[in-house]
Amino acid sequence: MENKLNCYTECQLSISEFKSLHKKMESDGFEILNITAINNSDQIEISGVWQRSNSISSTISYFDSSQELLDSLDHQENKEQIPHDICVFEDVNKVKSIVVWKNSLDLSAFMSSKETYDEFQKSFNQNVKKGLTLHSLKSFSISGIDYYYAIWSKQKSNGFLARHGMSEQEFQELFNNYTNRGYILQDLSIYKTSSNPKNSFTALWKLSDAPLFFKTKYNLDSVAYKKFIKDYTPSGYRTTSICSYNENGKTLYACSVILS
């Protein structure tokens, strides 16, 4: 699906299909912006958003275990790139992940991965005291345990708010409240936990220093998700976050776009 701004999205791809498409997109001058994955009835479904770029500044790494990811984060070979986006999923009893790295002048960014809630809350409090900024927050339920993946940076921000374990109603109420206070939605994760049959929401908002136009929708099927991106990206919007999740055996999507 291509539009006037040369933005392309595809969803529900197998790992091999995604790798093949990503290789083709790069050869055509597109770079990856966002990625999400889900295990739906033992079928891995990967979705991504690419945008044409004059200079490809992002790369992708695939990890077959949590330890591989941790080792990579501890020993980054390419010091010119920082973590930009991540998706985590279970595949044949293994926790696998895909990380998008992006060139950046701010090389202070780092990722904390596979933290339980207590571990994340502890590091959250410590990092806030250090004056660090939370740039990305993802949460997943793996084998019945909730884990958090966060990207932090020394880069200053006007302020941010993070909330987890919300119901759909709680999320919508906070979304309306924070939007009215000048916050924009930066990241959204929707997933089921072992203690709650309904979806839980984890979200990160950032305070904007200028009026920004952004749109967020969730509970979209694949057709509505593609239409949402197709409707907004020609007008100058770009995606900031995409998320796939399971609802009664069906894959649904959440997507946020912001006017660049």
Written as one string, the DSSP assignment of 5-73 is: T-EEEEEEE-HHHHHHHHHHHHHTTEEEEEEEEEEETTEEEEEEEEEE-SS--EEEEEESSHHHHHHHH
d(CA 168, CA 144): 20
pLDDT above 60: residue 251: yes
Q: Which of 94-103, 106-115, 134-143, 158-167 has the weakest average pLDDT? A: 106-115
Tell me the average pLDDT across 235-250.
Answer: 88
**pTM strictly above 0.95:** no
DSSP letter, residue 132: -
**Quick check: 110 pLDDT over 80?**
no
pLDDT band at 109 (very low <50, low <70, confident <90, very high): low
Rounded distance, CA 55 to CA 32, Å? 12
What is the structure's pLDDT at 252? 95
User: With 90 as the cut, is the pLDDT of residue 85 above it?
Assistant: no
Which has the higher per-residue pLDDT, 83 or 172? 172
Tokens of 93: 């009893």
Please tell me the distance from the alpha carbon of residue 52 to that of residue 56, in angstroms, as a whole number. 9
- Tell me which residue of 199, 192, 95, 86 sits closest to 144, measured CA to CA: 192
Beta strands in 70-195 (DSSP E): 81-91, 94-103, 110-115, 133-142, 145-153, 160-166, 183-193
What local confidence, expressed as pLDDT, does residue 163 receive?
94
In this prediction, residue 2 has a pLDDT band, given cuts at 50, 70 and 90, of very low
- pLDDT surpassing 60 at residue 4: no
* 171-182: average pLDDT: 93
Beta bridge partners of 163: 203
Both structure tokens of 154: 């020394």
Average pLDDT, the chain: 86
pLDDT given for residue 200 in this prediction: 92
Higher pLDDT, 73 or 246: 246
pLDDT at 3: 41
Nearest to 189 by CA among 171, 212, 207: 171
Residues in CB range of 145: below 8 A, 6 or more apart: 116, 194
Is the pLDDT confidence value at 11 over 80? yes
Residue 200 is given by DSSP the state E
The CA distance from 52 to 26, in Å, is 9
Q: How much is the pLDDT for 66?
A: 78
User: Residue 50 corresponds to which tokens in the numbers above?
Assistant: 């690419």
Give me the residue spans of the domains in the chain. 7-259
pLDDT of residue 79: 60
Query: Is a pLDDT exceeding 50 seen at residue 1?
Result: no
Smallest CA-to-CA distance from 49 within 91, 1, 83, 119 is with: 1
pLDDT at position 108, please?
66
Assigned token pair, 219: 């509970």
Percent of the chain surpassing pLDDT 90: 44
